[in-house]
Amino acid sequence: MKAAVLREVKKPLSIEDVRISKPGPHEVLIRTAAAGVCHSDLHFVDGLYPFPLPAVLGHESAGVVEQVGSEVRTVKPGDHVITCLSAFCGHCEHCLTGYMSRCVSPETKRQQGDTPRLAREDGAMNQYLNLSSFAEQMLIHEHACVAIRKDMPLDRAALIGCSVMTGVGAVMHTSHVRPGETVAVIGCGGVGLAAVNGAAIAGASRIIAIDLQGSKLNLAKEFGATDVVNPKDGDPVKQVQDLTRGGVHHAFEAIGLKQTAEQSFKMLARGGTANIIGMIPVGVHIELHGAEFLGEKKIQGSLMGSNRFPVDMPRLVDFYMAGKLKLDQMISQRIKLDQVNEGLDELRRGELARSVIVFH
């Protein structure tokens, strides 16, 4: 099969022929239909997060099941599925207490000495974030995908696999936004727009979108933002405080920078919660004013929207089909696999919300 391979950081991905294994007892072979080009992929390309190479990248995807292993009970050949990088075992402490996205059990991967899921003539190929979806096929654990209704367009379903689940989940699961509360979202890429949309679905009374790109702020209004703030017009913290007369109940940092993470905390009202959903590079530390904690302000991380994806993703599909979840507007361009580097370059420029690779 054809796949986009990262062999060296800060270098373009190469389109190569990669061998894929047959499904083991709890594995599923999927024909990839679509894969979003996500900022997380760019972080690994740029070396901000170390990862063993070579690897097939891609982690935001949807497709059709081709084969299943002998013990698979969750999906069957012909099912349309969305994948999720937070594969879960189902019986560790995190899974059993309802925090499946935190599962780090090695059971969802092939073990040392097993035939690798992906390989080339010169040796094994590393699987990226349990998926490797910049490829014509994926071989994954059954607990890394969920079946969805077949009338859902798969190019839009792919977005639910990462950015939408991350943004909407952070709002609903991690921070528990309630009707009437106020929200600020820093960064209006795919994840940030999903957070804006999630806040609108949750009933937030004021949703303030913050970005340096005017085009993205206009897009945020379509997703439910009631107000927009451009840091070019002045200190975004002061702008948010002025709009809300003191700060927001919930702030979501969806970029992954030290400065914006600190700003998300500073723009909170007393008792507010800042959620870091962007990927802050390894080794970067954030600094907060200790006295502000006396106002019962909180800061926390959110991993993949604190999801229970086998339940959450089909519900998000229903939200889209009912016109409540905005996915059509999130796709800026549809590209082919051999244009993946162009999609990554668009992310670097920060001009588009999402490029989606469509496989035929």
Residues known to be catalytic: 38, 40, 43, 59, 162
Distances (CA, A) of 318 to 166, 203, 359: 17, 18, 24
Exposed, middle or buried: residue 28 (CB in 10 Å: 0-12, 13-18, 19+)? buried
The residue behind tokens 């097993």 is: 114
Measured CA to CA, the distance from residue 59 to residue 43 in angstroms comes to 13
Closest C-alpha to 95, from 244, 266, 310: 310
Q: What angle do CA 278, 281, 287 make, to 5 degrees?
A: 80
Exposed, middle or buried: residue 187 (CB in 10 Å: 0-12, 13-18, 19+)? buried
The residue behind tokens 């006396």 is: 294
Q: Which helix (H) or strand (E) holds 274?
A: strand 268-276
DSSP string, 119-153: EETTEEEEESTTT--SBSEEEEEGGGEEEE-TTS-
Q: What is the dihedral of CA 275, 268, 271, 220, to 10 degrees?
A: -60
The residue behind tokens 């209704």 is: 149
Distances (CA, A) of 210 to 83, 169, 196, 231, 234: 29, 19, 10, 7, 12
Tokens of 270: 């007393």
Tokens of 9: 């950081």
